[in-house]
Amino acid sequence: MITFTSVFVILFFIFVLQGIWLFIAELAGKDLDFFTIIKFLSFYAPTIVPLVLPLSVLLASIMTFGSFAENYEFAAMKSSGISLQRAMKMLTITIGILALVSFFFANNVIPDAQYKFINLRKTIVQQKPAMAIAEGQFNTIGSSNIKVDKKSGDNGEFLEGVTMHVKNNNMGLGANTIIKAKRGVLTSEDDSNYLQLELYDGYYYEDIHPKNFEDRKRLPFAKSSFEKYVVNIDLTKLNQAEIDDGNITSEKMLTVPELKYTLDSLQNSYNKDVMSYADNVVMRSDNIFRKKNQNTINNVTPKVPNANVSPKKDLLSIFTPLERKQILEMAKSNAASTEFSIQSSKTDLEGKTKNINNHWLAIHEKFVIAYSCLLMFFIGAPLGAIIRKGGLGLPIVFAILIFITFHFINTFGRKVAQQDTIPPFLGAWMASLLMTPFAIILTYRATNDIGIMINFDWITDPFKKLFNKITQNNDDNN
């Protein structure tokens, strides 16, 4: 326990320093008091426990059992009739209790810390509006990227050289609106979720995307100047920011029962949207066809085929060339409009699917944290008994290699599951499922004193044979 506690504190401190580096843009130069910074980091700290805890268990297990083996304490235990399983019994129970505690920590403490962390960021931004915008760099807030050259005032609310790139959420074509102003003022109210940005003496540029593809080739745009322009910035968009391993998203603030309740609502909403989009496409196509073609078809007098002539397979042949052209143009326009509607619906449904998958991943990850503690113990304990090395040298090397592999597979599985390529269950448990056989093999070999025997003869033998053959040929020639 002393080794585990020491390792945990050291690793926790290292990851907290990493968190400071991640938030340095938000903390530096904001004139925040020391107590606020401590609260800021304290609310962030619980989110790094899922990373630190398994690594601490792994490293402490390797160090403890490696020290036992290195000092021949295992040999003394076995000579007294104490097997490795018996030596691991109490530690296994302890790690099992630690796994349960880690689950409750992930299910109750982390969501509450995430909620307070986001509220603290919101409070800081409301009290110091300029914190939302760092000087000399683009800052993403909601659907806008904002850059200012210089800030002044007691709270940095007076801005100079403001540039805004506003993204187009509907078209999916990136930033199509650019706003530049010489001066700006940031204001906010305590009970409001919005920042108000007043811009003075500037220009407004906007790319126009006509429905007709031929008109788009001319790249039309609109330009205007203004003396005053007011922009409202939604602070709730801060809740959707993602910061590397500490993803700050809504599902991270929910417990398992709350996640299940939310998932039920999201799934029902998704199913209704699928049916609604399908019905809208059919109804839209039918309405467009009726609206555009009814008058034309009603005024057309189709040719009456001769009874002795076989019916024509091409329906367009009964219309005149002008009517055929009109019908084909209407059909082409209808198809293009329907395709655009389907693509928009597909993008919307993909976003909803990713949100559902994120909620499922959040549920599974709470259990993965608990299981990973047990998994790392059953990897580290037998591995330490096999390598017979304690201290901080070789155990750290093995621990880092194993944990990087585990973390990489875990991150890969999460990203793939978010895109709905694999089920969320498999994405969340991929690393655990792949590493479990490794833990079983190590435990078996350590229990039976087999050790790790890796044979590379199948790689080296061909080179040895080739070298011997070349040497023999040289001797024969001499």
For residue 247, what are the β-bridge partners?
Answer: 242
Q: 3-class SS at 207?
A: strand
Residue 247 has a pLDDT of 41
Q: What is the C-alpha to C-alpha distance for residues 478 and 464, in angstroms, rounded to an integer?
A: 21
Compute the distance between CA of residue 231 and CA of residue 199 in angstroms, rounded to an integer: 8
* Tokens 């304690």 sit on residue: 390
Each residue's pLDDT, cut to its tens digit, for the chain (478 residues) gives 888 888 888 888 888 887 777 776 666 655 667 787 788 888 888 888 888 899 899 888 888 888 887 888 877 887 888 877 787 888 889 899 999 999 999 888 888 888 888 777 767 665 565 666 777 777 777 677 888 888 877 767 788 888 888 776 554 454 578 888 888 888 776 556 677 788 888 888 877 766 666 666 666 777 888 888 888 776 655 544 433 333 444 678 888 888 888 888 888 888 888 887 777 767 765 665 565 555 554 554 555 555 555 555 566 677 777 877 887 888 787 777 777 777 777 878 888 888 888 889 889 989 999 999 999 989 888 888 888 776 667 778 888 888 889 889 988 988 898 888 888 899 889 999 999 998 888 888 877 777 554 444 556 677 777 777 777 777 777 6
Joined tokens for residue 191: 């009970």
**Could you tell me the two tokens for 269?**
């909403």
- Going 245 to 248 to 251 to 253, the CA torsion angle's sign is positive
Name all contacts of 217-226 with Cβ < 8 Å and 24+ positions apart.
226/199, 226/201, 226/202
Q: Give just the sign of the alpha carbon dihedral 430, 431, 433, 434.
A: positive
Question: How much is the pLDDT for 192?
Answer: 63
- H/E/C letters for each residue in 18-41? HHHHHCHHHHCCCCCCHHHHHHHH
Cα separation of 264 and 233, whole Å? 31
Helices (H), 187-299: 213-216, 256-299
pLDDT of residue 100: 92
Q: Alpha-carbon distance 195 to 298, whole Å?
A: 57
Residue 69 contacts residue 388 (beta carbons within 8 Å): yes
3-state secondary structure 155-202: CCCEEEEEEEEEECCCCCCCEEEEEEEEEEEEEECCCCCEEEEEEEEE
Give the pairing type, strands 144-152 and 242-243: unpaired
Nearest to 329 by CA among 261, 319, 74: 319
- The per-residue pLDDT for 97 is 92
Q: What is the pLDDT of residue 371?
A: 92
φ, ψ at 75 (rounded to 5°): -65, -40
Give the pLDDT confidence score for residue 393 in this predicted structure: 73
211 phi and psi angles, rounded to 5 deg = -70, -30
CA dihedral (313, 315, 320, 325) positive or negative: negative
Q: What is the DSSP string of 290-330?
A: HHHHHHHHHH-------TTSPPPS-GGGGS-HHHHHHHHHH
| DSSP code for 72 | T
Burial class (CB in 10 A: 0-12, 13-18, 19+), 456: exposed
- Determine the longest span between alpha carbons in the chain, in angstroms: 109
